[in-house]
Structure 1
Amino acid sequence: MRHPLVAAALLAALAGTAAAQSVSLQGTLGDSKAVLMINGAAHTVAVGATVKGVTLQSLQGGQANVVVGGKAMALSLGGSQVSVGAAGNAGGNSIVIPASTGGHFFTQGAINGKTVRFMVDTGATMIAMGRTEADRLGVDWKSGRRGNTATAGGNVPAYLVNLTRVRVGEVEVYNVDAVVVGADMPDILLGNSFLSRFSMHRDSDTMRLERR
């Protein structure tokens, strides 16, 4: 019969192996090494090496291709942390976003499968973007309900639309309201039509979103 202390230690080890991993790309050293934030701690990882269960496969142009728990994924420099659960399943419940040098929170994501950069805006009622970006993403804003919104340059027309899929990190949300304004915007605002589906926690220079 296995000793109970040995069994307990084995169960603890298995639990540690199955726990979710959080990883993000914080910096690069040429094309040979990356600084990865793994479970809240920074590690310098060489291409081909494995640290804390994260394997760095390749590194190019500010993007790292890694394998975590058997799941391959691409990390963008300065993007949000990606959480991967046991057996390689996407965690899908948690987003960690580091603050930029200016104090804003930027993160890479996708709308309807196309890559975008978001700026978190807790004061925005919903996701907001300019027409040019909406056209690039294939958003049919002309069929949206028309209204007006105030900008620094005055009132401009705005169109209420529904986005089929919005993804940040490994978290994807469906049927998210958004507004397309008649003026170009430097970034897509990640507003409360997305954020309200999460509980938000901010710790100095880090924002964490947990799915409700």
Structure 2
Amino acid sequence: MGAHSRRHFTLSALAFLAAIAPAWATDIEVTGLFANKAMVSINGGPPRVMSVGQSSPEGVKLISADSSGAVFEMDGQRKKVGMGQRIATSFASGAKPTVKLVADSNGHFSTVGSINGRPIRFMVDTGATMVSFSTNTARQLGIDLSGASQGAVSTAGGVVRAWKVTLDNVKVGAISLNLVEATVVDNLPDGFALLGNSFLNRLQMSREGNVLTLTQSY
């Protein structure tokens, strides 16, 4: 690496990646309809049944359900969704894209999203300078490192190789950002990505209890 300038980035929470619990975002898809009940999949997660009057941790309430569709309420807005249809995080016309995440038992916020259109599981990490993932994950995402700037990062296991890249797109729920800087690191666990500040700093963030709200600020 003598021909390359060495860069050091701080990454945190690496030890928790393998134990990330499923998290909930507020994009939902109706996968089943019954009398006064609806089966929904939240942000691509496993289907679960909601009963009329029940609210999810993300603040989505089921108002009614029958064979013709289900009516959901969020942020004071209501929308009817038919079988197999998907609704965005915010129902309000002109509202900024918003995602609500619920902390797991360890206090971590994780969710599923995409990088350059390919699915990936994220863990929110405000201590990470950039969105970060392993070299094997980069290959799975179709990211070419041949022309990337190479450097190094300091981890609990020592100093390892890293590459700085610019991602075409990073998406979490209804939030979609283009041209997001990222680091690709040799020894990060595969199949996960840290959702660092190169993404988070472009959002508005607020936390109330165990719910983290991300809002696209544009």
Paired residue secondary structure (2:198): helix
Using CA pairs under 8 Å that are at least 6 residues apart, name the structure with larger relative contact order, 1 or 2.
Answer: 2
Could you say which residue in structure 1 is the equivalent of 2:117? 113
Does structure 1 residue 195 correspond to structure 2 residue 214? no
Does structure 1 residue 209 correspond to structure 2 residue 210? no
Please point out which of 178, 184, 189 is paired with 2:182: 178
Could you say which residue in structure 1 is the equivalent of 2:90? 83
- In the superposition, the TM-score normalised over structure 1's length comes to 0.68
The amino acid across from 1:40 in the alignment is G
- In the superposition, the TM-score normalised over structure 2's length comes to 0.66
Structure 1 unpaired stretches of 5+: 1-21, 59-65, 74-81
The alpha-carbon deviation at position 54 of structure 1 amounts to: 3.8
Does structure 1 residue 55 correspond to structure 2 residue 81? yes
Contact 2:58/2:102, CA 8 A, preserved across alignment: no
The alpha-carbon deviation at position 143 of structure 1 amounts to: 1.8
The amino acid across from 1:49 in the alignment is G
Show CA shifts across 1:146-186 (max 9, x none). Answer: 11101121110000000011111011101000000011325
Q: Which has more helix, going by share of residues?
A: 1
Structure 2 unpaired stretches of 5+: 1-25, 29-41, 73-78
Show CA shifts across 1:122-151 (max 9, x none). Answer: 000000000111000011123211111011
Structure index of larger Rg: 1
Change (3 A) 1:165 1:108: same
Let me know the Cα RMSD of the aligned residues: 2.7
Could you say which residue in structure 2 is the equivalent of 1:61? none
Change (3 A) 1:41 1:169: closer
Identity rate of aligned residues, in percent?
32
Change (3 A) 1:47 1:23: farther
Q: Which has more strand, going by share of residues?
A: 1
Paired residue secondary structure (1:57): coil
